Chains A and B, each alone.
Chain A
Amino acid sequence: MDIGIEDVRSNESTRRWFASLLDLWGPSGVRPGLGETLLNFCTIVGKSPDDIIDECLRAKSGGDTFVLRTRARKQFMEQIEQFEAKTGSRDTANVVRSFFIHNGVAMNPSILD
């Protein structure tokens, strides 16, 4: 998959994430570099932001509500942990978790060693 930063930013799930951050935290919530961090993760897993969220949330008939697909969520949680190990940064991995959370996919990293 070949994806660039503008592709990431234009995905609906990314726009939803930024809007939710803005709504919750105000302008300071949308920090520089968030899109780039998400792009790095997307490149590693080989999927676009929208594809990632679509894998985690299966739309019910009508499309207004979703079912959380626990197996897909678990898989992405493991990939985020690997991403965290690779970057050596909890903060960086938490940016990716924030993307999932604001798209309706709960993420809870362990805070214990």
Chain B
Amino acid sequence: MEFKQVLGRQRTFQYFLPWRPVERDKVQVVLEAGRLASRAVNTAFSKAIVINRDSLTSEERDRLKTPLSATLFDTAPVCIFWYFDMDSRRVAVEERKWPTVASGALVAIGALGPPHGWSHRYVQNVVLPEVLMPGLDAGPQRGGNSDAGLAMAQGLLAAYDEGLAACLAPFDEAGAKEILHAPETWEPVMAMFLGYPAESWEAAGQEPRMPFGGMFFEDNADTPFARDGAVESSLRTAGLTQRPAPVPWRPQEVRAVSRMLGLSHD
């Protein structure tokens, strides 16, 4: 798919074909995309566990469900549990096993270098003690991590590009610890449900968003970024901006799909 069409495909897909499996190679593509996402100090903050629905018992699925995600656990053939590894910074600093900034690898390969003030000595003597090590004594800290979210977001776009429908929803942390053996230091980000859509690709239509000028600013937070109509028009042509929700047939589609899947439709 064209990149802007992939971006425009974003929907809260709620209806999957439960009987149509997701190819393993497509799942791998999602993970590969997440692995390459931008991350601070090249540290692997993001971790993920892939589960095939049919490998879980009904009781295990129930342990993972939250009220918001219960039906998704039953219908989506694959679920990826995305986590923020709260211990990843300590591991990067202390073990220096992976090509993180802390290991000096990014300077060695020339990704970071003298033109921006980077050197091995700067990393070892200043960045490590002043930037990466402070706070480690306090142990793993909850509170989310933007880089873990970025990896998941990149995986989400890859899923759309692979022709899959996807939905992000919370999962039960305690249940996941028990069933997936997620370490204590992994904080949940979201569950990503994957499958082929039982609804149309338009789903409800492109979902409404807060007005552009209420989200983006220029020069200061008082001045909305001026939106150019020509750009908006080109994005409609390219497929990033699509038909807004609700599409006229949505109620009938939801009823029909719900009947097909045996879900409540009243």
Contacts and interface: CB of A to CB of B under 8 A. Distances in A.
Interface in A1-42: 16, 20, 23-24
Contacts of B121: 16, 20, 102-104
A98 B130 contact: no
Contacts of B125: 57, 65-66, 104
Nearest to B133: A65
Overall SS of chain B's interface: helix
B24 interface: no
A104 B124 contact: yes
B119 A65 contact: no
A58 to B, nearest CB: 11
Overall SS of chain A's interface: mixed
A106 B118 contact: yes
Interface residues of A, number: 19
Given A106-B117, A108-B116, A108-B117, A67 B122 contact: no
Contact of B114 (A57, A60, A101): A101
Nearest to B110: A24
A68 interface: yes
A52 interface: no
Contacts of A108: 116-117
A105 interface: yes
Contacts of A106: 116-118, 122, 126
A72 interface: no
Contacts of B120: 20, 23, 102
A38 to B, nearest CB: 15
Contact of B119 (A60, A68, A101): A101
Contacts of A20: 119-121
Interface string A44-58: 000000000000010
A23 B121 CA distance: 12
Contacts of B118: 101, 106
A102 B114 contact: yes
B121 to A, nearest CB: 4
A68 B114 contact: no
A106 B126 CA distance: 9
A68 B126 contact: yes
19 contacts: A16-B121, A24-B107, A57-B125, A65-B125, A65-B128, A66-B125, A67-B130, A68-B126, A101-B118, A101-B119, A102-B121, A104-B119, A104-B121, A104-B125, A105-B122, A106-B116, A106-B118, A106-B126, A108-B116
The 4 closest A-B pairs by CB, nearest first: A106-B117, A104-B121, A65-B129, A104-B125
Interface of B: 107, 113-114, 116-122, 124-126, 128-130
Interface of A: 16, 20, 23-24, 57, 60, 65-68, 98, 101-108
Given A101-B119, A102-B119, A106-B126, 11 more contacts: A16-B121, A23-B120, A24-B119, A57-B125, A67-B126, A67-B129, A68-B130, A101-B114, A101-B117, A104-B125, A106-B122
